[in-house]
Structures are given as C-alpha cells and as structure tokens.
Amino acid sequence: EVQLLESGGGLVQPGGSLRLSCAASGFTFSSYAMSWVRQAPGKGLEWVSSITGSGGGTYYADSVKGRFTISRDNSKNTLYLQMNSLRAEDTAVYFCALPYGSGGYLDYWGQGTLVTVSS
C-alpha cells in the first residue's frame, strides 16, 4: 500500500527557514517523480515543485524559485522541501504527492503538514 507521510511543519517567523519531509513507502521510491503542492487557508491548490526519480531534474513555481529547494534521499525513501526566506504568503498546508499509475498525474497524496509564517 502506497503511503506518504509529511512532517516538519510549524510556526516560523518571516525570513526564517523550515525543512519539510515526506516519508514514502509501498512502492519503489527511486522510480517515481515526486511533487509538493500547497494550499493556503481557504484557498485553492498551488503546485510548488517537482523532482525526477533520480533527483537530477527539479522544477519550481515562480513564487518559490530561488527560495525553496526540493530534494530526495532515495536510500531513505524520503522527499524534502527546504524553505528559506519564508514570507507570510507561504502560509499553507503542504502536501507531498506521487504520480504513480495515472499518466503522470498526482494519484497519491499525503495528509499535509501546516506551515505558518508569522511574527
């Protein structure tokens, strides 16, 4: 059974940093791209970043480019999102998601972890 479990969210001051983790199980982690998607309180979904299975390719939304870094440790079956220079508008639930069996679309999602950027 595919499982994705995010952690690392919390309260951080503007300008601060946070690293999110997503522990994956139930599939061959290194064979699949992974993504982060966020949702601000009461708002819609926003794609944040994706990474290829090998980690050699990374993609970012313009809103986070230069501030966030996606990475993975295939030996630990874990996906990361390093978030620096955080802003109030980064406040959101962050989901990790997996395009597993449906044409590269996000068919498995974690439960999300809340990041709050506030002084």
Partner 1 sequence: EIVLTQSPATLSLSPGERATLSCRASQSVSSSLAWYQQKPGQAPRLLIYDASNRATGIPARFSGSGSGTDFTLTISSLEPEDFAVYYCQQRSSWPRTFGQGTKVEIK
- Angle at 64 (CA atoms; ends 41, 47), nearest 5 degrees: 60
3-state secondary structure of 63: coil
The one segment of 13-21, 71-79, 83-91, 106-114 that binds partner 1 by CB under 8 A = 106-114
Residue 10 binds to partner 1 (criterion: CB under 8 A)? no
Q: What is the spatial distance between Cα 110 and Cα 66, in angstroms, rounded to a whole number?
A: 25
Considering the complex, state which of residue 55 and residue 112 has its C-beta at the smaller distance from partner 1.
112
Residue 101 binds to partner 1 (criterion: CB under 8 A)? yes
Closest CA relative to residue 80, chosen from 116, 25, 29, 34: 34
Q: What is the spatial distance between Cα 75 and Cα 87, in angstroms, rounded to a whole number?
A: 32
Q: Which of 20, 29, 34, 35 binds partner 1 (CB under 8 A)?
A: 35
Q: Which of 47, 77, 84, 114 binds partner 1 (CB under 8 A)?
A: 47
Residue 94 binds to partner 1 (criterion: CB under 8 A)? no
Q: Are 35 and 57 in contact (CB under 8 A)?
A: no
Which parts of this chain interact with partner 1 (CB under 8 A)?
A: 35, 37, 44-47, 50, 59-62, 95, 101-107, 109-112
